Homo-oligomer: A and B are copies of this chain.
Amino acid sequence: MPWSKFDIEMMARAIKLAKRGQYTTRPNPSVGCVLTVNETVVGEGFHIAAGGPHAEVHALAMAGERAVGATAYVTLEPCSHYGRTPPCAEALINAKVARVVVAVTDPNPQVSGRGIEMLQQAGIKVEINLLQADAANINPGFMTRMRSGLPKVTIKLAASIDGKTALSNGVSKWITGPEARRDVQRMRARHCAVITGIETVLADDPSLTVRHAELGGLGQTLTIEQVRQPLRVVLDSQARLPSSAALFNATSPILLVSCLEYTDAQKALWPAHVSHLLLAPQNGRVPLRDLLQHLGKQCNEVMVEAGATLAGAFMAEQLADELVLYQAPKLLGSQGRNLVKLPDYTEMSQLPSMKLLEQRAVGQDNRFIFNLRF
């Protein structure tokens, strides 16, 4: 279908609007909507937070009576079910729009196409797949989760140019510069969950929270209240996490995942925001696929901020979608700690497949983003 220049511009505008929800809509997808009459915008909006109005509702409220006969550009197929809000397809029908242009159909196979069907049955002209890839990229985790039940998994690593994450004595502050560390804060703010391992907790005692003051420019866009803290997930197969861990100081949710039960004495010291998941071990460790299946119930995108062993396990088991690597222009030398533990390969053909998606300077460092599903 040959799209008009105006159609393309309006969908691009809806996509731009949708992106404004990227840090706040989870576990809902980020969606944008633009309403036009005679090539003039009469309403627009985006979804801000789960439980609040969807993008179409915002746009229709702005347009009022002018929505009659309008074209609606929506980045995702309008919903057809009653959830916390009434279905958007119904709202568009009631407002008497004449045409709906959809970028991406709903990725959930159980509801995909139903919203479009509702609209068509009401006599509305529906066209789909305009700027489809761009619109899907706004919600990669939502797309993945709706299709497979698993969240999108991004591994974050930071190292020197010779692939070392710390000196032999464990000193790692700081290999990367402040800009890269701020970038990691923005990554955390975008993710539903941050997964780490007990070894990292015992060694570095991180808080794994988003610190508003360290968000850089994003801190001007999002208020402290709007910043959503990720679920902090600690893989602790042997139930060793001490109650003194800095993690417990922040009040955002913590999920402890172990293969052994914690003692009542341990649990008694946990604050109220801690929950626990017991999983049967696989090779003595937390089974990663089971963990992701659990997280997939509520998380679109999860990031792994862990040491070489856990990061390597996600890669070797092909459970990770992307790798974000911050690389500092420094040499730590062969005695430093290695970036990622992988099997002892004997041929180059065995290496993990990866494709460079993006490379750019972040302060003094380079940030590489690799697609691991290539």
Contact = CB atoms under 8 A, between A and B. Distances in A.
B161 A325 contact: yes
Best-buried of A333, A348, A356, A368 by chain B (most CB within 10 Å): A333
B163 A329 contact: no
A320 to B, nearest CB: 11
Q: How many copies does the complex hold?
A: 2
Taking residues whose C-beta sits less than 8 angstroms from the other chain, chain A's interface range is 35 or more
Interface stretch (A101-109, A133-141, A207-215, A339-347): A339-347
A174 B315 CA distance: 22
Given A160-B163, A368-B161, A171 B331 contact: no
9 contacts: A161-B368, A162-B163, A167-B346, A168-B344, A168-B345, A331-B354, A332-B342, A333-B342, A359-B366
Given A163-B160, A173-B348, A346-B169, A354 B368 contact: no
A343 B169 CA distance: 13
A347 B336 CA distance: 11
B161 A348 contact: no
A174 B370 contact: no
Contact of A333 (B173, B329, B343, B368): B343
A341 B331 CA distance: 10
A333 B312 CA distance: 8
A154 interface: no
Contacts of A340: 162, 331, 333-334
A61 interface: no
A327 interface: yes
A164 interface: yes
Given A163-B162, A173-B348, A354 B333 contact: no
A3 to B, nearest CB: 34
Interface string A165-182: 001110101110000000
A26 B338 CA distance: 41
Nearest to A329: B356
A288 interface: no
A196 B18 CA distance: 57
A338 B334 contact: yes
A297 to B, nearest CB: 30
A97 interface: no
Given A163-B160, A167-B346, A174-B348, A339 B334 contact: yes
Contacts of A370: 329
A64 interface: no
Nearest to A361: B359
What 8 A-B pairs have minimum CB-CB distances, sorted nearest first?
A: A333-B342, A163-B163, A334-B338, A162-B163, A162-B339, A334-B341, A335-B344, A329-B356
A348 B171 contact: yes
Given A161-B163, A162-B163, A330 B354 contact: yes
A358 to B, nearest CB: 12
A164 B344 CA distance: 13
